[in-house]
Amino acid sequence: MVSKEVWSVTSKPGIIAVSLLFFLPTFLPSTSMAQTPADVMRAVAEVEKHLPWFWTPWPEGIRDVPYAYEYELKKRKLNSKGQEEFPPKLKDGHYKQARSLHLEHTPTESGWGWVTRCISQDGLECGPYEFDVPPEKDPVKLSQSREKRRQQRIAMWDEFLRAFHFELREKDHIHFAPTGIYKHRGVKDAEIFEKVEGDLWFDLQTHEISRMDFELKEDIGNLVGKLYKGSHFSIELAMAIDKRYLPVVWSLRMNQRMLTSKGAEETEVRYFNYRKFGSTVTLVFGDVEVPGQ
């Protein structure tokens, strides 16, 4: 877990949205039919189009799941020599820019929005209301933002299927590499597919992804900023509450240059303590299409 995608020179990674009824059986192919690696990948993509973990900005999507959870975020900045650069410290012992955060996410009782509470920053108690995120009170805005993420996610998975050659290395392991001829069709952030290679693992029963890793194989960018070959993204998920695959950890290393500053930035987010929250939360696991959009 980069514009609104996991990579980008100007923004940060992510993972993603949730709001449609989850009807997996509709997508699963007949096991009696011989399948090519592309067929298997297509089945995985059809399932993942309706799940919130890929191709939309972190942490917007996962916030929509109907569970409370905690997560720890750690960030490191390295200079061109690989040495960590520390932000200045404040009088209260906190760093000016947080290096680590322990946060708790709780969906609201109404089913619209969430509350995020800071538990600790850099191992110390958070200041009053620091990093707390109040719930969005406008359900129309929430619905519209979910639909926007849903459309982006579907478009990205469609491009993913066009962009790569697929190799089935194990029953549950797909390797993907650029075709060499793919050009994105104006889909925002899909240009990254022209220059990444990676692997994913999936559940043979549900076709849900349990792990994905990919690496940038060529430099991308311009005079303002550049992301260098070797930049890497990884996410791991595990079956948890309600027998759903939920994120356990994602990490991103960006070898980059911004203007004249060159170095690397590492981000890791770990999720834990998933739990149901009350009986009145109406969020569902999956996407809900917005009528008329």
Backbone Cα Rg of the chain: 20
The closest of 284, 253, 269 to 7, measured between CA atoms, is 253
Assigned domain for 282 exists = no
Residue 118 structure tokens:
């800071």
- Cβ pair 219, 226 in contact under 8 A: yes
What are the pLDDT tens digits along the chain (293 aa)? 333 333 333 333 333 222 222 223 333 444 435 689 999 999 999 999 988 888 877 766 777 688 899 999 999 998 888 888 888 888 888 888 889 999 998 887 655 567 888 899 998 988 766 555 655 667 787 778 888 888 999 999 999 999 999 999 999 999 999 999 999 888 988 999 999 999 999 999 999 999 999 999 999 887 778 889 999 999 999 999 888 899 999 999 999 887 677 889 999 999 999 998 664 444 455 554 433 33
Q: What's the pTM? A: 0.79
Distance, in Å, from the CA atom of 26 to the CA atom of 42, rounded to the nearest integer, reads 13
Which pLDDT score, from 0 to 100, does residue 136 have?
60
Residue 143 structure tokens:
């619905």
**C-alpha 273: how far from chain center:** 19
Assigned domain for 58 exists = yes
Assigned domain for 186 exists = yes
Residue 120 structure tokens:
């600790």
Measured CA angle at 113 (ends 100, 116), to 5 deg? 20
Which pLDDT score, from 0 to 100, does residue 95 have?
83
Which residue matches tokens 């549950």? Answer: 172
- Cβ pair 69, 273 in contact under 8 A: yes
Please write the tens of the pLDDT for every residue from 241-288.
888 899 999 999 999 887 677 889 999 999 999 998 664 444 455 554
Distance, in Å, from the CA atom of 71 to the CA atom of 222, rounded to the nearest integer, reads 34
Q: Which residues contact 243 (CB under 8 A, 6 or more apart)?
A: none
Assigned domain for 293 exists = no
Task: Report how many domains make up the chain.
Answer: 1
What SS3 string covers the chain? Answer: CCCCCCCCCCCCCCCCCCCCCCCHHHCCCCCCCCCCHHHHHHHHHHHHCCCCCCCCCCCCCHHHCCEEEEEEEEEEEEECCCCEECCCECCCCCECCCCEEEEEEEECCCCCCEEEEEEEECCEECCCCCCCECCCCCHHHHHHHHHHHHHHHHHHHHHHHHHEEEEEEECCEEEEEECCCCCCCCCCCHHHHHHEEEEEEECCCCCCEEEEEEEECCCEECCCEEECCCCEEEEEEEECHHHCEEEEEEEEEEEEEECCEEEEEEEEEEEEEEEECCCCCCCCCCCCCCCCC
Domain that residue 126 falls in? 24-276
Which pLDDT score, from 0 to 100, does residue 126 have?
84
Assigned domain for 247 exists = yes
Assigned domain for 66 exists = yes
